[in-house]
Amino acid sequence: MNADIRAELMRLTHLPSWDRVQHDEWDVYSNFIYTTYSLDQLRREIRRAAEAFMLPLRPFAAYAIRRWYNFHTHQIVLEMFCAHPRVLREEDPRHPWVDFYVDGIPFDLKLTEFPRRYPGSVDEARAEPRSLVNWLYTHQSAERRYHLANRIFVVFHHTQDPSRTWEVRRMFDWIRGVVTDFLEAPQFLRANITDPLGNRRSPLAGILFCVYP
């Protein structure tokens, strides 16, 4: 299945913008992305759902295509982590904040583009990763995936053309090397953030930079 979905992910020539903030309602309408493995099938499901729920086709298509691409690239990178001998997969695939355990420590996996709103450069973030980790926790979505538990961030960036950063997510052979290097000698840090109730939290975090070229 991975080989098939990788080929379909490579067929995508343009990743549309969200056109709106991600939210739970349209997530529910587009939940077919989890079991859709081809672009042709995806387009059929988009048209079906747009008609069934009376949604504007173009914005909904952009939303669903982006979710589909992000989900399946995430799953491929997740498999890279779980293939390493020091990683144990979480048995419950619906666990809200644990994807796997590294040396017995639970972690959620988060793939993200280097945020354009981050008040610093990629080089500064690599030199001081704790600052970026704190920023990512603080500015995460408030929807279903929000949590302040342990997390491993994989941060993507296309140096020459940031608008092409989405393509870096599918450079799978290269990403595998970055993941393997990290897991051979994993280094974690303590984030320092404030939760919505004003409590100080210190989740354990790892951060991997996939910066191209």
User: Do 2 and 53 sit in the same domain of this protein?
Assistant: yes
User: Do 145 and 195 sit in the same domain of this protein?
Assistant: yes
pLDDT band at 169 (very low <50, low <70, confident <90, very high): very high
Both structure tokens of 32:
């077919």
User: Do 194 and 97 sit in the same domain of this protein?
Assistant: yes
Which domain-ending residue is among 78, 109, 141? 78
Q: So what's the pLDDT on residue 144?
A: 65
The residue range of the domain holding 9 is 1-78
Torsion of CA 6, 7, 12, 15, to 10 degrees: 0
User: Do 9 and 101 sit in the same domain of this protein?
Assistant: no
Q: How many domains are there within the chain? A: 2
CB hemisphere CA count around 55 (13 angstroms): 22
* Spatial CB neighbours of 1, under 8 Å, sequence gap ≥ 6: 37
* Spatial CB neighbours of 25, under 8 Å, sequence gap ≥ 6: none
Q: So what's the pLDDT on residue 2?
A: 56
User: What tens digit of pLDDT does each residue of 72-127 get?
Assistant: 999 999 999 999 999 999 999 999 999 999 999 999 999 999 999 999 999 999 99
Give CA–CA dist 117/109, Å, rounded.
21
What is the reported pTM?
A: 0.94
Which domain-ending residue is among 50, 78, 106? 78
Please give the span between the terminal C-alpha atoms of the chain, in angstroms, as a whole number: 29
Q: So what's the pLDDT on residue 3?
A: 59
Q: So what's the pLDDT on residue 143?
A: 62
pLDDT band at 209 (very low <50, low <70, confident <90, very high): very high
Q: What percent of the chain has pLDDT over 90?
A: 87
Question: Could you tell me if 110 and 139 are in contact, meaning their C-beta atoms sit under 8 angstroms apart?
Answer: no
